[in-house]
A and B are shown apart, each in its own frame.
Chain A
């Protein structure tokens, strides 16, 4: 707190007569905060102290006032922000945002493009087709969180920061898969139905269920198996780095859904209904055939990459490995369901999916 003597002195100085100084004299915001960096530097978690820390379950802040700042009575109102913490809160957002900053990478310089080997033409074509699919869908995963960012209250600003990091990551994914398709003489190939449907999410929880829990989760599982279908160190590194990014996005969504189910258990069935939609249980159309796992073109390309070529024997091998990929995608999905508190969904999965799922552990 600034002493009265100092304030008096300032007011008495030449030119000081018109100073108000009420903002410094009787501040409405908490003062005396002195945070210090920890092992990971000065993180957002470190500064979540006192009134600057975790927000209340409900806020009336519609003015864009940052959490902990002093309010003004004449502040302009935006009236677009969600007032309930549960609407967007994810407990891990601060940690994931800081991790995103630490783990940024450059598609231009962190991928050993000079070492790109000339692959067999069928493999190169298949990789270009896979990358065409990935560059098509990856920035949809940036557009979707962007759609909801303006609604996040400044009381929950960490969520907005995380979404900005996700958008940055998705931009890099669009970029790296585009570059990969263009790097080895083939170029982009056949576009498919894409993932525009994800932009139909009408609420934040609709988004975290459909985009993070399902869409990003399936992509993460695929990337984590990149060693199986990447035929060069260049490709392996791309998938490894992209998988690392996707893990953060999935973790954000999982922790948001967990928070919502814990704080508003009555919304559990609502979340199930979003998953029903994503799993195709409320009907699908031929043009949505990319569904959970990519369209037919992507599947063929993956089978060629997994089998190492397009002979009948290689394709049989490729489809066998694809089965393993799908099995892992579905099993990791079920694991995420368990973590968020939707373990009961195992019994509600469509039968065509249940065939891939390992038995529940006791």
Chain B
């Protein structure tokens, strides 16, 4: 029998069929089928006859793909083909074949023909890595050629990986909430190297610290050490929490930075628990919380570079100075290991901080003054904490000296060490002569601790 249906009527029938499917109007779409209908579907396989079709759809009304999002039907001879999206298998193709009476004779739901359009993405073909060496296949080695190039401004407002072929706008998903798209706001040249170094140099407080070497100490010495350990734990928790919150602001184009920062957050988490463990190991306990001026300031940072100034530069250099005195403070191998481990981590944090500030300052002349402003604010808050934290001051005195007088002298020396560490850190960040610009209250608490 000759086929009398027109193309437009067949595509219209296909739309009607899909509409019935969507509404789960089983009677109506079964009514469109011939008695000898053939169905071929994933999961189900092949079925023949209207009774079998009815049994299937009564049991599983969605088997025909009614929940998918269907594109416009296209005619291929007696068959109408429609591509549907949203299945667990990616795009599916529905093929509806009609007989001469415009009844469905075959319904085939299956995979879309292979396109491999993704394989045609005109991205750079990287060289195969050779001579990996002891450090292995590092990020720097992997990001060869154009993959290494981080643009000054990242143009994609989603999670497109740098070097991949971006999806067409309609297929990019929703815009991301990132706010940092400019390189100078986060960049440090050695981020990729610092990331790999952090992984190589990882340590585990639970098992790498010789906890058994801790000997009982005079109660006031133990209490003093515990006060110092409590302070480290609290402040690093603060740095850690706020840093993790910044990650969602940084766009995907600077993946080295995001990766490095993930190691910094993990390092800080380690400091939180390692020093807490120590404070609870030797008959003592935690001490008094800090006044929190600096903690609040870290939370309140409006800009990422401001946050880095407070945590990596100010807090980081003072903690690094403290760790350098680990031999004088620590009373056991375990104590010294804790300070060494933290010092090693802080070296990376300081490198990131100084390189980032340097890059930020080089980007725009006005940025120098902005950093100076943040330094001033940070110093003032840092000084407020030190001045009000009687417990921490006295803990240092009792932990550092065999007598109160000696402890006070040692504390002055410690503060001077920390100040010099801070000033040298700033010089590494291309900020020279800052000693003359120190906030007076900060200078005072260093000179008269």
Contact = CB atoms under 8 A, between A and B. Distances in A.
A106 interface: yes
28 contacts: A13-B405, A15-B403, A15-B405, A30-B285, A32-B284, A33-B281, A66-B237, A75-B291, A113-B129, A122-B119, A132-B118, A135-B164, A142-B262, A147-B245, A149-B244, A152-B241, A160-B237, A164-B265, A167-B247, A179-B142, A187-B147, A191-B161, A287-B170, A291-B88, A296-B90, A300-B114, A351-B60, A352-B62
A280 interface: yes
Nearest to B233: A66
A225 to B, nearest CB: 14
A10 interface: yes
A322 B258 contact: no
Contacts of B219: 1-3, 6
Interface in A186-214: 186-197, 199-200
Interface stretch (B94-102, B181-189, B196-204): B196-204
A46 B278 CA distance: 12
Nearest to B247: A146
Contact of A149 (B196, B245, B295): B245
Interface stretch (A35-43, A252-260, A269-277, A340-348): A35-43
Contacts of B295: 63-64, 76, 78
B159 A137 contact: yes
A23 B227 contact: yes
B87 A352 contact: yes
Interface string A13-54: 111100111111001111111111100111110110100100
Instruction: State the 5 A-B residue pairs at the shortest beta-carbon distance, nearest first.
Output: A299-B90, A41-B206, A108-B136, A171-B262, A296-B90
B118 A129 contact: yes
Contact of A47 (B61, B159, B244, B276): B276
A284 B285 contact: no
B158 to A, nearest CB: 5
Interface in A131-166: 132, 135-137, 139-140, 142-147, 149-150, 152, 154, 157, 160-161, 163-165
Contacts of B408: 15
B5 interface: no
B212 interface: yes
A350 interface: yes
Interface in B243-266: 244-248, 252, 255, 258-259, 262-263, 265-266
B1 interface: no
B394 to A, nearest CB: 6
B436 interface: no
Nearest to A108: B136
Nearest to B63: A355
Interface string B339-373: 00000000000000000000000000000000000
Contacts of A362: none
A190 B165 contact: yes
Interface stretch (B172-180, B322-330, B427-435): B172-180
Nearest to A303: B111
B60 A355 contact: yes
Interface stretch (B267-275, B308-316, B415-423): B267-275
B223 A27 contact: yes
A69 B161 contact: no
Given A24-B223, A287-B170, A298-B90, A70 B388 contact: no
Nearest to A102: B204
B302 interface: no
A267 to B, nearest CB: 24
A337 interface: no
A299 to B, nearest CB: 3
A286 B69 contact: yes
Interface residues of A, number: 151
Given A23-B287, A75-B289, A191 B143 contact: no
A22 B218 CA distance: 17
A80 interface: yes
Nearest to A34: B283
Interface string B41-77: 0110000000000000000111101010100000000
B244 A164 contact: yes
A168 B288 contact: no
Contact of A19 (B86, B126, B394): B394
Contact of B206 (A19, A40, A76, A146): A40
Contacts of B204: 41, 101-102
A10 B258 contact: no
A59 interface: no
Nearest to A30: B285
B166 interface: yes
A262 to B, nearest CB: 26
B280 interface: yes
B421 to A, nearest CB: 25
B394 A23 contact: yes
B29 interface: no
Given A142-B247, A183-B142, A199-B248, A350 B67 contact: yes
Contact of B242 (A150, A280, A298, A351): A150
Contact of A296 (B112, B224, B273, B288): B112
B285 A101 contact: no
A228 interface: no
Interface centre among A66, A71, A106, A291 (most CB of B within 10 A): A66
A323 interface: yes
A26 to B, nearest CB: 11
Nearest to B115: A300
